[in-house]
C-alpha cells in the first residue's frame, strides 16, 4: 500500500486553505496547514510530503528556516513552491535566493493551483 501523499501549506491565512484543499483533493493529495517550524517538522516526519507550499506573508523567520532545512537535505526533499504579493518584489527574490523551486505571485499561484497539485510542483520554476 502506498502512503497517502500530503501537501503541507505553511500559512496563517486560513481563508485560503479550503481553495488549496479543493484543488488537492482532485489530485488525490491531502493538505495539512502548519504555521510554525516545529509543526512543519512534526508533519514532515509523520507523512509522505512531495510538495510544500509557503505563504511568504507568514513570519520571515518561519519560512526561511523551513526552506533552508529542506534545501540542506538536498534533492531528496519535497518541491517547495512559495507565493506572495506581487508588490513585494524583494520578498519574492529572497524566496528564490533561499532555494524555493518556484516563486509565484498570489494571482498566478491561485490560477495554477490545480496544475500545481496535479504535478506536485514538477516543472514549476524550471
The pLDDT of residue 75 is 54
User: In this structure, what DSSP letter does residue 3 have?
Assistant: P
pLDDT tens digits, 71-125: 887 657 899 999 999 888 899 999 999 999 999 999 999 999 999 999 998 887 6
Q: Which residues of 29-45 are buried (b: 16+ CB within 10 A; e: fewer)?
A: bebbbbbebeebeebbe
pLDDT tens digits, 16-58: 899 999 999 999 999 999 999 999 999 999 999 999 999 999 9
CATH superfamily of 5-119: Response regulator (3.40.50.2300)
Which sequence spans correspond to the domains of the chain? Answer: 5-119
Amino acid at each position: 500500500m502506498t502512503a497517502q501523499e500530503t501537501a503541507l501549506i505553511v500559512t496563517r491565512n486560513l481563508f485560503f486553505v479550503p481553495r488549496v484543499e479543493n484543488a488537492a483533493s482532485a489530485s488525490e493529495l491531502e493538505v495539512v496547514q502548519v504555521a510554525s517550524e516545529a509543526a512543519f517538522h512534526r508533519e514532515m516526519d509523520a507523512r509522505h510530503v512531495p510538495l510544500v507550499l509557503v505563504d511568504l506573508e507568514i513570519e520571515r523567520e518561519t519560512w526561511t528556516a523551513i526552506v533552508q532545512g529542506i534545501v540542506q537535505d538536498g534533492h531528496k526533499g519535497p518541491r517547495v513552491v512559495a507565493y506572495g504579493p506581487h508588490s513585494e518584489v524583494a520578498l519574492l527574490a529572497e524566496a528564490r535566493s533561499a532555494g524555493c523551486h518556484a516563486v509565484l505571485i498570489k494571482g498566478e499561484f491561485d490560477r495554477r493551483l490545480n496544475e500545481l497539485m496535479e504535478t506536485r510542483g514538477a516543472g514549476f520554476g524550471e
